[in-house]
């Protein structure tokens, strides 16, 4: 216990902290370099053109209210699957470990869902730095909310999606299982998006990364998925 809190060996703790800080800086630089490759190039909008006939609804950031019961969840999943077929889309399955929203964003941004930790870290930074943009949507103490979102395995919500849209200058397009609203667009505030990120949203249960049918990239197989 003492070793965990750094009471036992101050020099070792300082060294560990320094190494962690250095590692975080390297991670930041790596992500910045990856994003810079297409930072100012316009997205090609393939999926956007395919679904241009859909009307999106205004997006209001919100936290997760309640998880649907198993029967509703099953119906919602079936609705989403039917929409995938109708729209000619396919999902890349993300692990069901509580990080699925950040995994799906990482897959769309970096073609690697393993970067979910870094996406979460930067989204949390966005929440901290621009508190005035998001606090009114959070029905709890804001510091507690941000602290909660910092933890791996904590489910992302529509507030973190808005923060991600603002941070990465992205239009986040959700194809959902909602019965009345099949498509939601989340736009960055006060700026034009430079990329599109496409996610499926099995409401309050799971997020996956979206591609055109037949164009889902081959990635390393994951052990745990949300599958019916």
* Residues catalogued as catalytic: 97, 100, 206
Tokens of 80: 């989403």
Q: What are phi and psi of 201, to 5 degrees?
A: -135, 105
Whether residue 120 contacts residue 102, with contact meaning beta carbons closer than 8 Å, is answered with yes
Cα(128)–Cα(125) distance, integer angstroms: 5
CA distance 163 to 210: 20
124-128 long-range contacts (CB < 8 A, ≥24 apart) are 124/149, 124/150, 126/163, 126/164, 126/166, 126/167, 127/159, 127/160, 127/163
Using DSSP, state whether 58 is helix, strand or coil.
Answer: coil
């Amino acid at each position: 216990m003492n070793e965990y809190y750094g009471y036992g060996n101050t020099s070792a703790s300082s060294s560990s902290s320094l190494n962690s800080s250095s590692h975080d800086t390297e991670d930041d630089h790596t992500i910045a370099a990856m994003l810079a490759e297409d930072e100012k190039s316009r997205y090609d909008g393939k999926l956007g053109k395919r679904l241009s006939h859909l009307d999106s609804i205004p997006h209001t950031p919100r936290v997760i209210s309640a998880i649907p019961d198993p029967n509703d969840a099953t119906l919602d999943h079936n609705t989403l699957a039917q929409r995938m077929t109708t729209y000619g889309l396919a999902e890349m399955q993300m692990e069901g470990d509580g990080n699925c929203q950040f995994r799906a964003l990482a897959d769309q941004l970096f073609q690697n869902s393993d970067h979910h930790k870094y996406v979460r870290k930067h989204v949390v930074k966005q929440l901290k730095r621009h508190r005035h943009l998001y606090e009114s949507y959070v029905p709890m103490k804001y510091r507690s909310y941000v602290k909660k979102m910092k933890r791996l395995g904590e489910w992302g919500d529509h507030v973190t999606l808005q923060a991600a849209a603002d941070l990465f200058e992205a239009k986040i397009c959700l194809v959902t299982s909602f019965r009345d609203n099949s498509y939601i667009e989340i736009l960055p505030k006060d700026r034009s998006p430079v990329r599109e990120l496409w996610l499926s949203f099995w409401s309050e249960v799971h997020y996956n990364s979206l591609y055109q049918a037949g164009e889902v990239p081959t990635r390393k197989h994951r052990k745990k998925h949300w599958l019916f």
